Chains A and B, each alone.
Chain A
Amino acid sequence: MPRKAVVHEQDYAVSEGPVRLTVVVGDRQYGSSMVFLDDAPLSNGDIDELPIGGPEIAGKTATVYTIVTDVSDATDNLSVTWMLSGGRKRSLATESAPASKKFGSQMFKGIFHFRQ
């Protein structure tokens, strides 16, 4: 059975401008992401300043799946930081977890509910 995902869930207030998402896979580990707005896929791979939408996305939910694999000899720590901008204020959230085994992988799931 896959290891339980590390989940981060929050609301984000949109504004007039476009909301942008950046996903940082930290601790010098290797990770890939997939972003969905409700069930529609938006992007995958490295997520850097991805435009999600303007005020019209209020009421929708972005789900970001990021799988991080331990490739570092220096640390076993795995971390993901989600950065949202373009709304009423910038948002930055980080979650981390140790690798379950050497060269192990961990799923991170960011859930962002957009509201007015």
Chain B
Amino acid sequence: MTGLRRAGLLVLALAVPRVTAGQDDQRSGDAVSIRLEDFRLSGTPASALLGTSAASVTRPNTPRALIASLISATGSSGLVPNGYSLETAPFWLSSHPMLQIRDYYNASLGDRLKYFTAFSVATSRPSSRSDSVHPDARVSIAVRTLLLNGRPSVALNATADSMRTLQLSYIDKYRQWEIARAGATRLASQRQRLARQEDLLSTLVTKITIAPDRELRDSAMHTLARRDSLRSVVASSESAQGDATSLEKQLDNFDDRLANLAESFSERDAEPDGIILEVALGTRAVFAEGEWARERADGFGVWITPMYRMSAQHLEIIGVARYIARAVDFDHQDLFDLGARAGFEIGKAGFSGEWVTRTVRESSSDNSSRWAALFDYPLPAKFHLVASFGSDFRAVDGRRPVIATIGINLGLGAVMLVPGNKVPK
């Protein structure tokens, strides 16, 4: 299912057949935006409320970083910044040394609310025109959480087992490295002592050669014994140093492999099995001419996203219920979307089908539905071949755009959950 949910979509249209058979005719020049991630909040809910996709989302995880980010965002100009996006989970602003990973999936509702609740802020202010005053700015604040967080998938457990094996091997090597390093620490001083003994021995031998003397000979014999002993010690230390160097390389290799496994763990941890229920809500305000002091309320949004995943069976079902008041991309009408998507995998290929019905509060004639069949196939270098076919929501002018596209997902950018595929009047 990973490919179907992959955030960050840039579709390069290789061929976009504008299929019209069995559908209403399609207006030429209308760009149909295919948002495969519509069912889930791939970005922050605050950004989704603005209908924007921030280039980057600041995610401070310390109080200091949070305060610094907020101060830099508010600035000293008194104007709302453009394109600011922040998401932070208060619980994770401090350390929790007693929170073990095994507690995470067996948490009570209260604990889940602590672990998963995150607040987000986003701003949008179009660039001012040279012949106008500052344009209005929009700011949204939202919160989201997981009421149900599923259970570890088989893949996650397998990754954890691999990490356990590698970590124990790491500790084993680390102990060997400690011993080897201890044996090599005095190598320099031992070499100096050996050199001194070699010099002394050379001097004594020279003197004995010139003038044989019993005391000199005895002294030379003692020096010879010390020299041989030191040679043995230095050889042992050099061997230990060689071992330490070799073990350091092995530990660096283990470290890299652990990092790869940790990344895989993190990805799989984000896709648990079982029932997952995400809830998000937020509100949006307009700031006249971008000034913080001139604020008025401007809509809100609520998302409820239940999911059920059976990774071993390669099956995933996602539902969506969302209400967005004064949707930016829909002429500020109130929208209610209700739908579901079922996906499965065959080999590497992912297939899914989705259906969503949309109710427009102010204009029941604009009520519509959307269905689509989606295909995703992973390519080398984390690219994805994606294709879709279906019928999009009815446009304001009554026509129903056809969904028909094939392209390559380059994994760039971020796709927001917004009521998409709006064909302007």
Contact = CB atoms under 8 A, between A and B. Distances in A.
B171 A2 contact: no
Interface string B165-192: 0011011101101000000000000000
Contact of A28 (B104, B163, B164): B104
B251 interface: yes
A24 B101 contact: no
A30 B97 contact: no
Contacts of A34: 168, 171-172, 175
B97 A75 contact: no
Contacts of B92: 74-75
Contacts of B259: 69, 101-105
4 interchain residue pairs of minimum CB distance:
A26-B97, A32-B167, A103-B262, A79-B97
Given A2-B248, A74-B61, A25 B266 contact: no
A79 B95 CA distance: 8
Interface in B70-112: 89, 91-92, 95-101, 103-104
A67 interface: yes
Nearest to B118: A74
17 contacts: A2-B255, A25-B101, A27-B97, A28-B96, A28-B100, A31-B167, A32-B163, A32-B168, A65-B174, A69-B261, A71-B265, A71-B266, A72-B266, A75-B61, A96-B97, A103-B258, A105-B167
B171 A32 contact: yes
A82 B58 CA distance: 34
Interface of A: 1-2, 5, 24-34, 44-45, 65, 67, 69-77, 79-81, 94, 96, 101-105, 107
B177 A81 contact: no
Nearest to A45: B164
B99 A107 contact: no
A42 B175 CA distance: 15
A73 B255 contact: no
Contact of A25 (B91, B100, B175): B100
Nearest to A76: B61
B174 A30 contact: no
B160 interface: yes
B258 A24 contact: no
A33 B164 CA distance: 9
B255 A105 contact: yes
A30 B163 contact: yes
A73 B259 CA distance: 13
A76 B65 CA distance: 13
Given A96-B97, A101-B259, A65 B171 contact: yes
Instruction: From A24, A67, A73, A77, name the one whose CB has the most chain B CB atoms within 10 angstroms.
Output: A67
